[in-house]
Amino acid sequence: MTKTSLLGNQPVNRIGFGAMQLAGPGVFGPPRDRDAAAAVLRRAIELGVNHIDTAQYYGPDVVNDLIREVLHPYPEDLVLVTKVGGKRDDKGAWLPAQSPAELREGVEANLRSLGVEQMGLVNLRVMPGSDHDFAEQLGELVALKAEGKLAMIGISTVTLDQAKQAVAQTEISEIQNPFSVANRVDEPVLGFCREHDIAYVPYFPLGSAFAGGPKALAADPAIAGVAEKHGVSASQIALAWLLAHYDRTLLIPGTSSVAHLEENMAVGDIDLDAGDLTALDGATQLPDPMAVVAH
C-alpha cells in the first residue's frame, strides 16, 4: 500500500492527524493535560505527519494556539487544514456561522491563531439547515484564495449534488464527509472523488460514538476476524480498509495519547489482501446519527 498521496498538488503522508481531541471535554476549553497534548503533536511530526486538520472553533482557539506554540516555525512540508462554517458560544454549544462574512471572519481567525499568512487548505463546512446560498459561500473562499489567504479549497458534509456544483464553480482539492467500513452511505460522493481525482478525507472513520464507535467495530465478526488474522486491533483494520478503498483517501485520526497516535500511524504497514477486503464487505452497516452534526 502506498503511504503517500496528493492533497491537491501537495504530496502528503496518507495518515495525518486530526487535532480536535486536543481540546478539553466536548472540544471546549483547555486540554486536561497540556503537556501530554503537546507531546502528541511533537510525536506526530516525528512519525512523518505532514497534514494536520484543525479548526479555530476547537476550544475555541485552544487547539490552534497549541499547534502554533508547539510546532511553529512549522516544517516546510506541513499542510495545515482548517474548516469554517461554525462557531461556539460561551457554554461550548456548536452554532452555525455560514454567511460569507462569517466564513471570511473564520479564515482570518485561523490565520491569526495559527500564526500564518496562508492556510494550506480551508474546508467549507456546510451546516444542516443553512439558508445561505452554497455558491455564494464557496465564492467567498474563492475570493480569499485569490487574495492569497488560502492555497486550496475543500468542502465538508456535502451531498453529491453540492460536490458537483462545487467542482463546476472552482477547483476542489478535498471532500471531507463521514465514512467508515461500517457506514458507507457516502459511497456516491467517494465515487465522485475517484472520478475527479479529488482527495477524500473521511471523518468518523471508526464510526460515531452514537453508533457504538470502536466498540461496535470490535464486536463485528467480519472486522474482528481480519483483525485477529493480522494481529492488530479492529480499529486499525477499519483504518486500513479506508486506505485500501481509494488510493486518494487521507486519514486524520485524532487522539490525545502518544500510544494511540503510534497505533494509528502503524496502520500504514497493514496490507489487506483480496480475501480480507471480501470479508470486510460483510461488515454490519450501522446507522450514523452524527453524520450531520458539527465536527
Cβ–Cβ < 8 Å for 26, 92:
yes
Of 4-18, 30-44, 117-131, 261-275, minimum mean pLDDT range: 117-131
For residue 166, pLDDT beyond 70: yes
For residue 188, pLDDT beyond 70: yes
Return the pLDDT at 291. Answer: 47
Q: For residue 83, which of 103, 62, 60, 59 has the smallest C-alpha distance? A: 103
For residue 207, pLDDT beyond 90: no
Q: Is residue 90 part of a domain?
A: yes
Q: Note the residue count of the chain.
A: 295
Return the pLDDT at 66. Answer: 98
The x, y and z cell numbers of residue 41, run together, are 503533536
For residue 55, pLDDT beyond 60: yes
Of 134-148, 211-225, 236-250, minimum mean pLDDT range: 211-225
Return the pLDDT at 288. Answer: 64
Cβ–Cβ < 8 Å for 40, 256:
yes
Q: What is the mean pLDDT of the chain?
A: 95
- Cis before 289 (ω within 30): no
Round to whole Å and give the CA distance between 105 and 173: 22
Q: Is residue 25 part of a domain?
A: yes
Which amino acids are annotated catalytic? 58
Q: Is residue 270 part of a domain?
A: no
Return the pLDDT at 286. Answer: 85
Return the pLDDT at 212. Answer: 79
Q: Give the pLDDT band of residue 289 (cuts 50, 70, 90).
A: low
- The count of structural domains within the chain is 1
Phi, psi (deg, nearest 5) at residue 81: -115, 135
Q: Is residue 4 part of a domain?
A: no
Read off the pLDDT of each residue in 194-206 and give the average, rounded to a whole number.
96
**What's the pTM value of the predicted model, to 2 decimals?**
0.95
Q: Is residue 127 part of a domain?
A: yes
Q: Is residue 214 part of a domain?
A: no
Round to whole Å and give the CA distance between 151 and 153: 7
The x, y and z cell numbers of residue 70, run together, are 508547539
pLDDT digits 0-9 by tens, 66-94: 999 999 999 999 999 999 999 999 999 99
Could you tell me what percent of the chain has a pLDDT over 90? 92
In the 3-class helix/strand/coil scheme, how is the chain assigned residue by residue?
CCCEEEECCEEEECECEECHHHCCHHHECCCCCHHHHHHHHHHHHHCCCCEEECCCCCECCHHHHHHHHHHCCCCCCCEEEEEECEEECCCCCEEECCCHHHHHHHHHHHHHHHCCCCEEEEEEECCCCCCCCHHHHHHHHHHHHHCCCEEEEEEECCCHHHHHHHHHHCCCCEEEEECECCECCCHHHHHHHHHHCCEEEEECCCCCHHHCHHHHHHHCHHHHHHHHHHCCCHHHHHHHHHHHHCCCECECCCCCCHHHHHHHHHHHHCCCCHHHHHHHCCCCCCCCCCCCCCC
Q: Is residue 295 part of a domain?
A: no
CATH classification at residue 156 = 3.20.20.100
Structural domain of 143: 11-207+249-254
Cβ–Cβ < 8 Å for 58, 66:
no
Q: Is residue 16 part of a domain?
A: yes
